[in-house]
Amino acid sequence: MKVNPKEVSLGAMHNYLLSSIGPRPICFASTIDAKGNKNLSPFSYFNVFSTQPPIAIFSPAKSGRTLTQKDTYHNAKETREVVINVVTHDIVQQMSLSSTAYAKGVDEFAKSGLTPIASELVKPFRVKESPIQLECKVRDVIELGDQGGSGNLIICEILLMHIDESVLDENQTIDQTKIDLVGRMGGDYYVRANGDALFTVPKPIRNLGIGVDQIPDKIKNESIFSGNDLGMLGNIEAIPSSEDAKAFKNELGIENDWSSQLTKAKELLAEEKIEEAWKVLID
């Protein structure tokens, strides 16, 4: 199936995009208007784009239904300040409630039952229940169009980050198993980043992997290996020596038995033992 954006409805395009590009982080944006009225709304057109300067961008889009701009867009343009709060599983229902299209000036902190606390460098309030709050100044607003569904990039420079100690590990870094972030997917779906949903992949940047193209065809063409298995085998700096391989296979009692070697290698890869997997596969 192919989707040409010019040939489908706005709603259909919206669904195709939001169901494909995900999970998306959620910017829980706190702003105020020129009169000081608080506003709090979630936006999943959001990410971080630069570390120096530290820049996050989110996009309140012009409504496809009412053809009006969101209050957050007006506030960000007017007062040039935003606090971005991260969304964890503990506050996902209150966050969702705050996305209701309340009239301008209605305080979504009160509507959602979340607690506003003062920021240090900007006027918008932080969400107390969110473990990470970013005080930002708006560097730029880029309007991407004037139609329903047109996004507006709110380019935010992070001035100060607040991190709740409960999500830190002993090295003062943010523990990914503690933070319990949620992400937005298509339809009514969200994803919760904890438990079995979390896994690690060692960064290839730390070594120069030989690459899948350097794996001998005899191994590469075995259907037992998936793309992920080949990716792991390719992420080794040097193929182990045949002496090491021989000794290892001898120890396991699987010398000259290709089918057992393949089964063992598959098992070792599942345990992320790449060096050992190589040793059972080479002559």
Q: Give the binding site for ligand FMN (CB under 6 A).
A: 26, 39, 41-45, 59-61, 70-72, 96, 99, 101, 184
Query: Between residues 17 and 174, which has the closer beta carbon with respect to ligand FMN?
Result: 17
Q: Which residues contact 197 (CB under 8 A, 6 or more apart)?
A: 191
Query: Between residues 179 and 268, which has the closer beta carbon with respect to ligand FMN?
Result: 179
- Least distance in angstroms from the C-beta of 135 to ligand FMN: 19
- Least distance in angstroms from the C-beta of 72 to ligand FMN: 3
- Least distance in angstroms from the C-beta of 42 to ligand FMN: 4
Query: Between residues 73 and 248, which has the closer beta carbon with respect to ligand FMN?
Result: 73
Q: How far apart are CA 105 and CA 109, in angstroms?
A: 11
- Least distance in angstroms from the C-beta of 26 to ligand FMN: 5
- Least distance in angstroms from the C-beta of 161 to ligand FMN: 21
Query: Between residues 31 and 261, which has the closer beta carbon with respect to ligand FMN?
Result: 31
Q: How far apart are CA 226 and CA 217, in angstroms?
A: 14
CB 109 within 8 A of CB 101: no
- Least distance in angstroms from the C-beta of 131 to ligand FMN: 17
Q: How far apart are CA 106 and CA 9, in angstroms?
A: 32
Q: What are phi and psi of 200, to 5 degrees?
A: -115, 150
Residue 2 parent element (H or E): none
- Least distance in angstroms from the C-beta of 31 to ligand FMN: 8
CB 48 within 8 A of CB 56: yes
Burial of 241 (0-12, 13-18, 19+ CB in 10 A): exposed
∠ CA 143-155-79, nearest 5°, is 85
Long-range contacts of 44-48 (CB under 8 A, 24+ apart): 44/18, 44/183, 44/184, 45/151
Output the six-digit token pair for 9: 């409805």
- Least distance in angstroms from the C-beta of 39 to ligand FMN: 5
Query: Between residues 43 and 225, which has the closer beta carbon with respect to ligand FMN?
Result: 43
Query: Between residues 70 and 264, which has the closer beta carbon with respect to ligand FMN?
Result: 70
Pairing of strands 38-43, 126-127: unpaired
Q: How far apart are CA 73 and CA 144, in angstroms?
A: 13
Query: Between residues 60 and 131, which has the closer beta carbon with respect to ligand FMN?
Result: 60
Query: Between residues 96 and 260, which has the closer beta carbon with respect to ligand FMN?
Result: 96
